[in-house]
């Protein structure tokens, strides 16, 4: 480990971190390293390694950097910079990403999420023996991240020579639970419940919520003597029939001789009915060909209509994903100094409390006395200020709180960055559109007067730019509307968007 610290190092992506963990534990056996060139070529063309064994997907280590060469020793680090392994680079070769995507995913269409990701991978692949120093640590659900050897050991001690792997990254409904139990019973084996614990894709239920539901089901609704729960850090490829074959090989390594999958697992990454690449029938045909060779029989079942979830599972989901009127959101007031942002924002804050919401008010002037103390009014400092407020806002929203921000925030790009940090559907940009001459007449803080006298420089609207919002959710005019009327408009908008109950 001491030596590793001084080696040139390579930071693994979350996907590669999953891959290296499964290489290290033997879940990808017979592959014990990131794939080399001759294996890579044969895997793409024939789904086999050069030694003739079936292996359908190229588990490769991509790099962009070109300063690593054969013969080098490198340290592989986690995204958090912890040293995971030392690799002696024996091969370096180029990978043809489009050809690979076409062969394994059946498309080069970037709407396929893995293909989209592939397009950003480095062109070079490195291969060589790995010395794994620390497998990635799992600080939660620790006991469920088991190695294949541990699962096989459990099966042996529980007296099972057969085992069905049920592998899922979805939610398990009651109807499905019954299907699983029935099929496991028919085989007479044990159940290895494999919850896929891979990086979440946008729009999916977060991993911890999903894993909590598996844990609950395994403990409460499955026969404990017959069931073992494992969390599988498998970074899926959405690679159609190759993917299923890959799963089968992995499950063989965990000691299973059956793989049970919903037919939905066969949907390609484009995920639409009309673009389905292959039907379950094709899988069955494919597997009659390969089943004996790998020693795993693939059982596909038609996903039953969803129906009900176990009440405890429903409660876990409801807790993580409350109805919209209990979710967080951010009101972002922007406009010239003295436009009326703080005045209206404060009234909105009070009105929101009537709905029982927990509200934080981040006023630009106040923020500059602590969070952004010391920052000035250059473009860079203004952006830093806005992004700091944005960061706090995004954390509040993530915890389902309400945050009201009032800051001049003159630059469009910084406001858009905050929108992305908070999440587009939780961000309400409110442009307080007061003409400059009106703002100047109000001049509550005497800023305009001082700017006109040349005592201060860089006042937004006078000698510093204000970029008008292009598509704010709400525009408020303050010349013909009182602060209270405008505050009501904001509340009505929130009711209309279901952020507040009627």
- 338 lies in the site for ligand ADP, by CB under 6 A: yes
**Which of 56/337 has CB closer to ligand ADP?**
337
Piece of 90-98, 191-199, 201-209, 339-347 that binds ligand ADP (CB under 6 A): 339-347
Residue for token digits 């290489």?
23
Closest residue to ligand ADP, based on beta-carbon distance: 340
x/- map, 428-447, ligand ADP, by CB under 6 A: ----x---------x-x---
The number of residues that bind ligand ADP (CB under 6 A) is 17
Binding segment for ligand ADP (CB under 6 A), chosen from 177-185, 377-385, 461-469, 476-484, is: 476-484
**Residues 38, 127, 409, 482: which is the catalytic one?**
409
Instruction: Work out the widest C-alpha separation in the chain, in whole angstroms.
Output: 89
Q: Which of 339, 348, 490, 494 binds ligand ADP (CB under 6 A)?
A: 339
CB of 436 to ligand ADP, least distance (A): 12
Residues 337, 390, 469, 472: which binds ligand ADP (CB under 6 A)? 337
Residues recorded for the chain: 502
Beta carbon nearer to ligand ADP, 235 or 345? 345
Question: Is 385 an interacting residue with respect to ligand ADP (CB under 6 A)?
Answer: no
Nearer to ligand ADP, 253 or 385 (CB): 385
3-state secondary structure 306-373: CCCCCHHHHHHHHHHCCCHHHCCEEEEEECCCCCCHHHHHHHHHHHHHHCCCCEEEEEHHHHCCCCCC
CA 324-326-328 angle, 5° bins: 85
Binders of ligand ADP in range 121-140 (CB under 6 A): none
Q: Which of 298, 331, 397, 406 is the binder for ligand ADP (CB under 6 A)?
A: 406
Residue whose entry in the numeric block shows the structure tokens 């085989």: 187
* Nearer residue to ligand ADP within complex by CB, 337 or 472: 337
394 labelled catalytic: no
Give, in degrees to the nearest 5, the angle at Cα 16 between 10 and 18. Answer: 135
Determine which residue in the list 335, 410, 469, 472 makes contact with ligand ADP, applying CB under 6 A.
335
Asked if 469 touches ligand ADP (CB under 6 A), the answer is: no
Sheet holding 83-88, edge to edge: 9-11, 73-77, 83-88, 130-132
Whether 94 contacts 29, CB under 8 Å: no
- By C-beta, is 161 or 482 nearer to ligand ADP? 482
Window of 43-51, 129-137, 167-175, 330-338 that interacts with ligand ADP by CB under 6 A? 330-338
Nearest Cα to Cα of residue 248 among 164, 151, 155: 164
Both tokens assigned to 326: 């209990």
Between 38 and 482, whose beta carbon lies closer to ligand ADP? Answer: 482
Residue with tokens 């497998």: 135
- Return the CA Rg of the chain: 28
Per CB under 6 A, does 483 bind ligand ADP?
Answer: yes
- Inter-residue contact 199 to 15 (CB < 8 Å): yes
Q: Nearer Cβ to ligand ADP, position 339 or 494?
A: 339
Residue 175, judged by CB atoms within 10 A of its CB (0-12, 13-18, 19+), counts as middle
In the 8-state DSSP scheme, what is residue 137? P
Task: Give the residue numbers annotated as catalytic, written as ranges.
Answer: 409
Given the rule CB under 6 A, which residues bind ligand ADP?
A: 335, 337-344, 406, 432, 442, 444, 478, 481-483
């Amino acid at each position: 480990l001491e030596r590793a610290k001084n080696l040139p190092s390579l930071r693994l992506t979350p996907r590669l971190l999953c891959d290296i963990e499964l290489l290290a534990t033997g879940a990808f056996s017979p592959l014990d390293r990131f794939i080399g060139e001759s294996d890579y070529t044969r895997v793409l063309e024939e789904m086999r390694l050069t030694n003739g064994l079936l292996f359908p997907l190229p588990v490769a280590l991509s790099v962009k950097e070109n300063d690593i060469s054969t013969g080098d020793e490198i340290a592989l680090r986690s995204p958090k910079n912890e040293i995971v392994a030392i690799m002696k680079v024996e091969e370096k070769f180029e990978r043809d990403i489009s050809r690979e995507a076409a062969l394994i995913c059946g498309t080069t269409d970037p709407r396929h999420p893995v293909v989209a990701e592939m397009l950003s991978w480095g062109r070079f692949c490195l291969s060589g023996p790995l010395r794994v120093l620390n497998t990635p640590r799992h600080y939660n659900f620790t006991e469920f991240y088991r190695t294949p050897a541990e699962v096989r050991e459990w099966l042996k001690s529980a007296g099972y020579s057969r085992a069905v792997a049920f592998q899922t990254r979805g939610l398990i409904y009651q109807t499905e639970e019954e299907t699983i139990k029935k099929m496991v019973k028919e085989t007479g084996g044990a159940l290895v419940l494999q919850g896929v614990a891979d990086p979440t894709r946008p729009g999916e239920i977060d991993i911890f919520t999903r894993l909590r539901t598996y844990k609950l089901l395994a403990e409460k609704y499955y026969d404990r003597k017959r069931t073992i729960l494992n969390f599988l850090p498998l970074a899926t490829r959405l690679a159609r029939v190759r993917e299923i074959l890959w799963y089968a090989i992995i499950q063989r390594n965990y000691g299973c001789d059956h793989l049970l999958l919903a037919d939905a697992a066969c949907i390609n990454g484009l995920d639409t009915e009309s673009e389905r690449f292959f039907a379950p029938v094709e899988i069955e045909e494919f597997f009659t060909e390969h089943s004996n060779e790998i020693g795993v029989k693939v059982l596909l079942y038609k996903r039953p209509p969803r129906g009900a979830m176990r009440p405890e599972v429903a409660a876990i989901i409801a807790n993580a994903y409350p109805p919209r009127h209990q979710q967080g959101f951010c009101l972002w007031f922007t406009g010239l100094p003295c436009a009326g942002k703080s005045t209206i924002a404060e009234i909105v804050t009070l009105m929101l409390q009537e709905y029982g919401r927990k509200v934080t008010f981040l006023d630009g002037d106040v923020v500059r006395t602590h969070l952004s103390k010391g920052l000035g009014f250059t473009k860079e400092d203004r952006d830093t200020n806005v992004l700091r407020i944005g960061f706090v806002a995004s954390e509040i929203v993530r915890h389902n709180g309400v945050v009201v921000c009032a800051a001049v925030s003159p630059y469009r790009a910084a406001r858009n960055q905050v929108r992305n940090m908070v999440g587009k559907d939780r961000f309400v940009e409110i442009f307080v559109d007061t003409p400059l001459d009106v703002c100047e007449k109000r001049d509550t803080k005497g800023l305009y007067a001082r700017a006109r006298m040349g005592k201060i420089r860089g006042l937004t609207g006078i000698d510093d730019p204000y970029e008008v919002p292009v598509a704010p959710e709400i525009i408020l005019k303050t010349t013909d509307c009182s602060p209270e009327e405008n505050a009501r408009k904001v509340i009505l908008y929130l009711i209309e968007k279901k952020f507040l109950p009627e």
